Amino acid sequence: MDWKTFQALLSGVNKYSTAFGRIWLSVVFVFRVMVYVVAAERVWGDEQKDFDCNTKQPGCSNVCYDHFFPISHIRLWALQLIFITCPSFMVVMHVAYRDDRERKHRAKHGENAKLYNNTGKKHGGLWWTYLISLFVKTAIEIAFLYILHHVYDSFYLPRLVKCEVSPCPNIVDCYIGHPTEKKVFTYFMVGASALCIVLNICEIIYLISKRIVRIANKINRRKNNLPYRLSTLKLEDKIRASAPNLSTPC
């Protein structure tokens, strides 16, 4: 995977994000992508070669490895990183759509004509797109954590596993390479994923709270302007009533 291209694509998301979104992006790159590229890939390496079973039965080691490791940690994390960042591109595409509409509107009505005050400001449809992307990212994170928890029994990696899958002749002892190191990295990646979920939830609460406050302020402004409008209407009615009727013949 070309992580430099991946980083370049996501760098455009940062300018449309809130403070929580920027922290989330930093956590993804520093604590997940960097750890994945620099350390995790080397620790796992060719993990099937490090899976050693005390038997010479042809095919037994391969079958046992597939039984205990149906999905490789490293490939699962790579898929997770790709899937959790894809919803952020929804926001970038929505802003690009707004920019295109703004360009066409100015070409038609002149350079001073504006369709949006700021195409990157989270109002209207863009606010909903941003909020939906957060819900999707959170759901993907939870789904991958559940898959990892379900497949690997609470993220635990034992030093020794006992295999009795055919074509193994009997119960075979198989040893996992670097079990403690792999366990540490697994817990670290799970913790980083949990932190990203917390940041997503905080950002969802922040966006919804800010929207509620804005709507409440708008309602209060309307209520405050209502007495002034009523007094203005009453004053206009009094002026009309006191004014002479010019349409009546003398």
Spatial strand order in the sheet of 52-53: 52-53, 172-175, 160-163
Question: 53-85 pLDDT, tens per residue?
Answer: 888 888 888 888 888 888 888 888 888 988 988
- In the chain, the amino acid numbered 209 is S
Please state whether beta strands 160-163 and 52-53 pair in parallel, antiparallel, or not at all (unpaired).
unpaired
d(CA 12, CA 22): 11
pLDDT at 250: 43
**CA angle (2, 148, 85) in 5-degree steps:** 35
| Distance between CA atoms of residues 48 and 62, nearest Å | 8
* b/e 117-133 (16+ beta carbons within 10 angstroms → b): eebeebeeebeebbbeb
Q: How far apart are CA 33 and CA 215, in angstroms?
A: 39
On the CB side of 208, CA atoms within 13 Å amount to 10
Give the model's pLDDT for residue 198: 95
Q: What φ, ψ does residue 3 adopt, rounded to 5°?
A: -75, -20
Most confident of 112-121, 209-218, 235-244: 209-218
On the question of pLDDT at 158 being above 60, the answer is: yes
Reading the block at residue 168, the tokens are 């193994």
Structural domain boundaries of the chain?
Answer: 8-235
- Given pLDDT bands bounded at 50, 70 and 90, which one contains residue 240? low
Cβ atoms 152, 124 nearer than 8 A: no
Alpha helices in 110-178 (DSSP H): 125-151
State the average pLDDT for the chain. Answer: 81
Return d(Cα 2, Cα 5) in angstroms, integer.
6
> How does residue 192 score in pLDDT terms, banded at 50, 70 and 90?
very high
pLDDT at 204: 94
- pLDDT at position 226 is 58
Query: Has residue 241 got a pLDDT over 80?
Result: no
Given a cut of 90, whether residue 35 has pLDDT beyond it is no
Q: Which CATH superfamily is domain 8-235 in?
A: Gap junction channel protein cysteine-rich domain (1.20.1440.80)
Q: What does the pLDDT read at residue 205?
A: 94
The token pair that represents 13 in the structure block: 């998301």
pLDDT of 196 above 90: yes
> What's the pLDDT band for 180 if we cut at 50, 70, 90?
confident
